[in-house]
Amino acid sequence: MLREAETEAEERYSQQIRFAPIGAQGQRRLGEASVLVVGAGALGASLAQHMVRAGVGRLRLVDRDYVELSNLHRQTLYDEEDAEAALPKAVAAAAKLRRVNGRARIEAFVADVDRRNAESLAADVDLVLDGTDNAATRLLLSDACFSRGIPLVYGGVAGSGGMTALLVPGDHCCLRCLLGEEAPGGEDGPTCDTLGVISPAVEMVAALQAAEALKALTGNRSALRGTWLTVDAWHFSVKEWKLPPPVEPCPYCGWGESAAAARRELAEHGDSFRLSANGERAKEQNATEAALLCVRRAVAAEDVSIADRSESATGNALFGDDREAAKLIVLCGRDTFQLALKPSVSLSEWRRRLVAAGCAITADNRYLLRASTAAEERIVIFAEGRALIQGAGEPERAMEIYRHYLSDGTGREADETSVGF
């Protein structure tokens, strides 16, 4: 049986094994590797496919969204049937990938990556591939990776260009130090929503990310690029800057006693310490700070490099002291807002309530329920207890939809025992 598997592997990966830097030994390493891909959209779908086709033994895939028709021009794992069924991207991608490589262990999670689960998702993997579309999640991934010594392959795309870098704990500074606490560009910076995006740009960045991942996973450490790279597929340009080393006092990428003290203080005081640790303390004048400044200025000069960092940070309140509205998160693209709901309410109960409230059900599967309001706004409820509100235009309108359809009329989320809205 073992020999049969080896023979199959030799045939399946024959051309890859003939590539001298990988060879038979590198292929065995790929088969033993575990990789986490966060986000299964344009970049994530392509990255997951590269890893599975290359022979990575275990792939963990996490995504919070579902397949729509507007995804199909650039998200290569999905088709019209997936969009019509409104399948979660992680589920649809896993089904396709299992048909590509039946020997790969593929774990699919329909979930939003946040502070509660980021470290556990990255706990037992060898490398993390960034296929996300927002700054908040990327910074959490960087924190988790650098806390555990796991390489992070960062990437982003908008318009016809994108950027990528492989950040190796111990060799490079973390993403939080590289980009700063407050991402340049602000909320008015360019995004896929304003610039659009073309598939060749996605595949170009994904290919660069995947190449660095293969180098790292096969033990080709000396071949790692060690640079922050920006590319443009339409105008064809390539620029790169050497990645800065770790920042000494940073609690994630730093070294020495000051970093250890910062880690202890961070563990004790949590988020309240993060700004001072990575903001004020990381601004100390030294050679590393000069390198950081150089990369930040160069990156800020590239429109595409700030495109994926312009949305509101996860969990930011949009309504001042309104605690209920503070649950509203703005997602990148598609005029979409996300809220957390009570996971105790079943999809069948939500279906009953939405129909009673005059909504039309447009998709219904074991993972999610999608409904359309009389004003043709969309409500998508996931089984794990999240809701997306699409087409509302403004956060205030999104909260009106939430209060009318998803709360019990008092501003609290409806539960199984609530009567009406």
pLDDT tens per residue across span 378-396: 999 999 999 999 999 888 9
252 occurs within a structural domain: no
Spatial strand order of the sheet with 161-167 comes to 105-110, 58-63, 34-38, 127-130, 152-158, 161-167, 227-232, 237-242
| Whole-number pLDDT of residue 55 | 97
**Three-class SS of residue 216?**
helix
What's the whole-number mean pLDDT along residues 184-199? 63
Give the domain CATH number at 224: 3.40.50.720
d(CA 89, CA 40): 6
235, 347: one domain: no
95, 202: one domain: yes
> Is the distance from CB of 60 to CB of 76 less than 8 angstroms?
no
Which among 242, 269, 294 is the end of a domain? 242
The tens digit of pLDDT for each residue in 138-166 reads 999 999 999 999 999 999 999 999 999 99
Residue, of 180 and 246, whose pLDDT is higher: 246
Pick from 73, 74, 50: which is nearest to 61 by CA? 50
54, 148: one domain: yes
The total domain count for the chain is 2
| Whole-number pLDDT of residue 326 | 44
d(CA 109, CA 237): 36
**End-to-end distance of the chain based on CA atoms, in angstroms?**
60
d(CA 145, CA 147): 5
Environment class of 38 (CB within 10 Å of its CB; exposed 0-12, middle 13-18, buried 19+): buried
9 occurs within a structural domain: no
| Whole-number pLDDT of residue 344 | 81
213 occurs within a structural domain: yes
> Is the distance from CB of 201 to CB of 233 less than 8 angstroms?
yes
218, 336: one domain: no
Q: Between 199-217 and 23-32, two packed helices, what is the crossing angle to 10 degrees?
A: 100
d(CA 62, CA 112): 8
b or e along 178-196 (b: 16 or more beta carbons within 10 Å of the residue's beta carbon)? bbeeebbbeeebbbbbebe
d(CA 271, CA 291): 26
Which among 201, 220, 242 is the end of a domain? 242
82 occurs within a structural domain: yes
| Whole-number pLDDT of residue 412 | 53
- Using alpha carbons only, what angle is made at residue 323 by residues 317 and 325, rounded to the nearest 5 degrees? 60
339, 230: one domain: no
Instruction: List, in order, residues 6 or more apart from 271 with CB less than 8 Å away.
Output: none
Pick from 346, 169, 380: which is nearest to 259 by CA? 169
The tens digit of pLDDT for each residue in 294-348 reads 565 555 555 443 333 333 333 333 333 344 544 677 776 558 899 988 778 999 9
213, 94: one domain: yes
179, 59: one domain: yes
Give the domain CATH number at 348: 3.30.310.10
| Whole-number pLDDT of residue 185 | 40
234, 375: one domain: no
238, 348: one domain: no
Which among 199, 221, 242 is the end of a domain? 242
Spatial strand order of the sheet with 336-340 comes to 329-331, 336-340, 386-390, 378-382, 368-372, 360-364
| Whole-number pLDDT of residue 308 | 38
279 has a pLDDT exceeding 50: no
What's the whole-number mean pLDDT along residues 87-94? 97
Question: Is residue 85 left, alpha or beta, with left meaning phi > 0 and alpha meaning psi from -120 to 50?
Answer: alpha
103, 199: one domain: yes
370 occurs within a structural domain: yes
Structure tokens at 393: 């235009």
Pairing of strands 34-38, 127-130: parallel
Distance of CA 69 to the CA centre of its chain: 20
d(CA 82, CA 90): 11
237 has a pLDDT exceeding 50: yes
Structure tokens at 135: 């700054």
296 occurs within a structural domain: no
> How many CB atoms sit inside 10 A of residue 263's CB?
17
204, 331: one domain: no
103 has a pLDDT exceeding 70: yes
Pick from 241, 215, 217: which is nearest to 227 by CA? 241
112, 229: one domain: yes
| Whole-number pLDDT of residue 265 | 59
46 occurs within a structural domain: yes
Q: Quick one: pLDDT band at residue 419, thresholds 50, 70, 90?
A: very low
381 occurs within a structural domain: yes
Q: Between 199-217 and 42-54, two packed helices, what is the crossing angle to 10 degrees?
A: 40
The whole domain housing 205 covers 33-242
